[in-house]
């Protein structure tokens, strides 16, 4: 199954076709030993994060004709037992953003996800600071699928850390471990 939210996020980033959540199988325990998670270093995003398995990595460039430049982004995706998807998207903008523009960009990003599908329901969204940068924690539900994440604007990069799964497979401790494993190295 390719969930609605995964399709929405990947459509927004021009990455169609990734979906790891398998809806047809019975629920199994998702308690994974986090000591086996794989720490991944993104050279382009200059960050570290841990995934439950070695993530797939894709790099894309999207033209920005109005600015006569391009948006570069990397996506790392890792599944856990084909029931939970962990994703990090790092978009590199051609220039740094002010704090006010960063906040507007985060709100616009969230609104873009929410308006892509009328079934997307916002459970919560909170503007926060992460390591001195504007960030947005959010939780979206689409029917029986949860999409929980954090978007961070740091200098000229947008970092999206997200976990997606069906409701019965959601475990807050896994999401917290994933989120807390993320470190900016700049």
Query: 30 CB contacts (<8 Å, ≥6 apart)?
Result: 80, 81, 83, 84, 169, 171, 174
Structural domain that includes position 169:
4-11+40-184
pLDDT given at position 36: 87
Q: Residue 19 — very low, low, confident or very high, per pLDDT cuts 50/70/90?
A: very low
Q: How many domains does the chain have?
A: 1
Q: What is the pLDDT of residues 164-178, one digit of tens each?
A: 999 999 999 999 999
pLDDT given at position 11: 39
Q: What is the pLDDT of residues 53-88, one digit of tens each?
A: 999 999 988 887 777 777 788 999 999 888 999 999
29 located within any domain: no
CA distances to 22, 61, 106, 160 from 5, in Å: 14, 22, 17, 14
CATH at 90: 3.40.1000.10
Element (H, E) at 95: none
38: Cα separation from own chain's centroid: 17
117 located within any domain: yes
Q: What is the pLDDT of residues 101-133, one digit of tens each?
A: 889 989 998 999 999 999 999 999 999 999 999
17 located within any domain: no
25 located within any domain: no
């Amino acid at each position: 199954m390719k969930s609605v939210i995964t399709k929405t996020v990947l459509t927004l980033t021009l990455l169609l076709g990734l979906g790891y959540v398998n809806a047809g199988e019975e629920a199994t325990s998702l308690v994974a030993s986090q000591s086996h998670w794989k720490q991944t270093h993104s050279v382009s995003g200059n960050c570290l994060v841990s995934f439950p398995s070695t993530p797939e990595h894709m790099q894309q460039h999207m033209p920005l004709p109005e600015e006569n430049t391009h948006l570069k982004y990397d996506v790392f995706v890792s599944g856990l037992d084909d029931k939970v998807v962990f994703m990090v998207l790092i978009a590199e903008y051609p220039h740094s953003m002010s704090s006010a523009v960063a906040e507007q960009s985060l709100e616009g990003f969230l609104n873009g996800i929410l308006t892509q599908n009328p079934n997307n329901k916002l459970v919560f969204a909170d503007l926060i600071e992460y390591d001195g940068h504007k960030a947005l924690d959010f939780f979206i539900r689409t029917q029986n699928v949860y999409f929980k994440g954090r978007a961070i604007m740091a200098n000229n990069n947008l970092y999206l850390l997200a976990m997606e799964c069906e409701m019965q497979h959601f475990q807050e401790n896994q999401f917290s471990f994933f989120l807390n494993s993320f470190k900016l190295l700049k």
